[in-house]
Structure 1
Amino acid sequence: MTAPPDTAPTVLACGEVRTCVLPSRRPLDSDAAAQLLQLRADERVLVSKRPNLYVLSPQTLTGVDCRLPTANGAKVRVVGTVAVRAALTEGRILQSSAYFRTPAQGPDRRRPWGHYLIRPGVLEPLGRLPESAAAQGVLAGGRPGELDLGLIADGVLTPLVRHPLLDQRAPLKSRHTRLRWAALPADPGQGPAIEEFTLAEDDLRTVRLRVPAGTEPAAIAALCEDFALHDWLLTTVVRLLDGRLGPVEGPDALTALRPAVEHLMHLWMPRARGDRTLRALWDVLEHDPGFTRQWDNLVQRVRDRLALLNALPKQPVAQPARAGEKT
């Protein structure tokens, strides 16, 4: 995790990703998406159209001066800035992401804000950082008054979903999901690894990683945004189809299946972007819990049901009797 000049090497990077469906009846095209995600006037929005439409906002910064959550109760004060950005995939799935990096030790006293502003996305501890306890503390969630990355990510997401460009007519019912991540340095000579991936209650997921020294936190954030996007897709389709692939025929069955087919099934594309070295971590999730295996099974079940519905004989529609005719 590369540090800017005059800072010690990074020993911990953490972040949180919020994912939701865009509240718009139609997906946004590239121009509208760029307008939506223009978070700063002095930097351009990045637009990628291959292999799918992906729009990334400029990075913004949120200044913080607070305690960092720790698993062992250690009182660690951090000062600096959290990096925040937003992304829109295929004009349909909106994400906001907040993340930071921190060195093992900082000064005993707070420095002027100018010192922190030239180190974007860096939080310096006052004193020594217990990196493992801090990683677990961030993943578990802090107490009131401690750093809350989800709150910072929501600070970007909330105004975006209320943007005048959007008609507030979401194409399907879904929930927001949260993915928290923490990355510690890997041992010398070791590659990246996922130490833990958990599905918690209240649509929370946590990921604990090991990454080689020199890995940019923005690259780790991109990987976790990709994890979060596909976890949201899988979670949402499972909920859409829950109890609806039973013996249901006719319009009711089509109504149940249509949102998944029209709006979600074409979005599955893990590893479409990001650092090539970190993309290998997708192999862990493909093995256990088996993201794509479960997705392919759901898609096949939907296709089988649609084929069955298409093969069933059409039921005649009763015509209303005309005046004077016997029924």
Structure 2
Amino acid sequence: MRPPTDAATVVLTCGEVRTGLLPSFQPLDSRAAAHFLQLRADERVRVSERPQLYALSPDTLTGVDCRLPAVDGAKVRVVGTVAARAVLTEGRVLQATAYFGAPAAGPDRRQPWGHYLVRPGLLEPFGRLPEQAVAKGVLRGPQKGELDLGLIAEGLLGQLRRHPLLDQNAPFKSAGTRFRWVARRAPDGEGPSITRFTLAEDQLRTVELRVPAAQEASAVAGLCEDLALHDWLLTTVVRMLDTSRLGAAGGAAAVLALRPAVDHLLHLWMPTARVDRTLSPLWEVLEREPGFSRQWQTSVQRIRDQLALQAIPLLREALASR
């Protein structure tokens, strides 16, 4: 048996993040978050309270023997394990991620399961891996009989949403998002880069990255979780603004529609707070186009302006009653 494959042999890393509101009226504190995300008894949940409450579960593994998505129709059979984990931010936003890495080539024969279990989160192809075709196939989405990372992530999300700690009474209605990503090896001597970022229909986002050869898959997954979190925050707040009917509805109705954003979301905006420092410059690309923070600040200012406008009549009434 050959030794476990190291990170330098991985040429393609792929994953999908599902993001949504925790179905609980009250956010979970650090102790409850640690209990909530204890997916394995042999490994602790990582909890941090600065600069915001953040809890990361240990990885769980799903064994697979199936085909990978490939746009050219190639039948790329892989065997190994897909890693999945969950993240809870400020006890309020829940994410589940499923991801794997793949080397440029694998054995021609199927190996015993012990061979794959000592390589967690690695899928080995039979023969050579058509890297570009698989990367495009993953971003397009699986076809019948192909590996579905979103299904694994959604399964973990569903499992956690049924946890007895949750009262199933979310403070407001919101839709979840899907964030699909692939990361290919950058040319020698080059740093990380974003090749393409798209906002598709049906709450789907896709991103194609280039990362240095030695970059760990878990760090890339962390970057994509951060991107997915802030995309969900922005999407949710923009939808609140759209449905609040500013300027058309009565002032009190608009304030009630926007209050959940103030109570639960506005303080969560902290890009790259926990992104690997070698990958954090990629946020600068999204700040230029599509301009995440510019749109966020504009939306936040609209909310604050609306609240200020509604406060003026109340102040007048208070002064008149003196």
> Is the shorter-chain TM-score for this pair beyond 0.5, marking a shared fold?
yes
Which consecutive unaligned segments of at least 5 residues does structure 2 have?
A: 318-322
Residue 162 (1) aligns with residue 190 (2): no
CA–CA distance in structure 1, aligned partners of residues 133 and 293 of structure 2: 33
| Alignment match, 1:9 | 9
Letter in 2 for 1:259: P
- Structure 1 gap ranges (5+): 317-327
Residue of structure 1 equivalent to 2:284: 283
Structure 1, residues 201-255: CA drift from partner, whole Å, max 9, x if none? 1100000000011000000000000000000000011111104222433421221
**Percent identity for Structure 1 against Structure 2:** 68
Kept in 1: contact 2:255–2:306 (CA 8 A): no
Q: Is residue 198 of structure 2 the alignment partner of residue 194 of structure 1?
A: no
Q: Which residue of 1 aligns with 2:310?
A: 309
**Partner letter of residue 284 of structure 1?**
V
Change (3 A) 1:27 1:7: closer
Kindly provide the CA deviation profile for residues 162-193 of structure 1, in whole angstroms up to 9, marking residues without a partner as x.
11100000111111100000000111111100
Q: Give yes or no for contact 1:8–1:104 (8 Å, CA) kept in 2.
A: no
Aligned letter for 1:276?
Answer: R
**2:247 match:** 246
Conserved 8 A contact 1:195-1:209: yes
SS of the residue 2:279 aligns to? helix
Partner of 2:294: 293
Distance in 2 between the 1:243 and 1:119 partners? 48
Partner SS for 1:38:
coil
Q: Does the 8 Å CA contact 2:252/2:310 hold for their aligned counterparts?
A: no
CA distance 1:8–1:49, change in 2 (3 Å): closer
Q: 2: CA distance between counterparts of 1:63 and 1:313?
A: 61
Cα 1:308–1:198 change in 2 (3 A) is same
User: How many corresponding residue pairs?
Assistant: 314
Aligned to 1:100: 100
TM-score, with structure 1 as normaliser = 0.93
Could you say which structure has the higher helix fraction? 2
Deviation at 1:114, TM superposition (A): 0.4
Residue of structure 1 equivalent to 2:56: 56
Structure 1: distance between partners of 2:24 and 2:162:
10
Higher gyration radius (CA): 1
Pick which of 207-216 and 245-254 moved more. Answer: 245-254
Question: What residue is the counterpart of 1:75 in the other structure?
Answer: 75
Say whether the 8 Å CA contact 1:59–1:83 is kept in structure 2: yes
Task: Tell me whether 261-270 or 237-246 shows the greater mean CA deviation.
Answer: 237-246
Structure 1 segments, 4+ long, off by >3 Å, are 3-8, 247-250, 313-316
TM-score (norm 2): 0.95
What's the secondary structure of 1:278's corresponding residue?
coil
Residues of 2 paired with 1:160 and 1:240: CA distance? Answer: 26
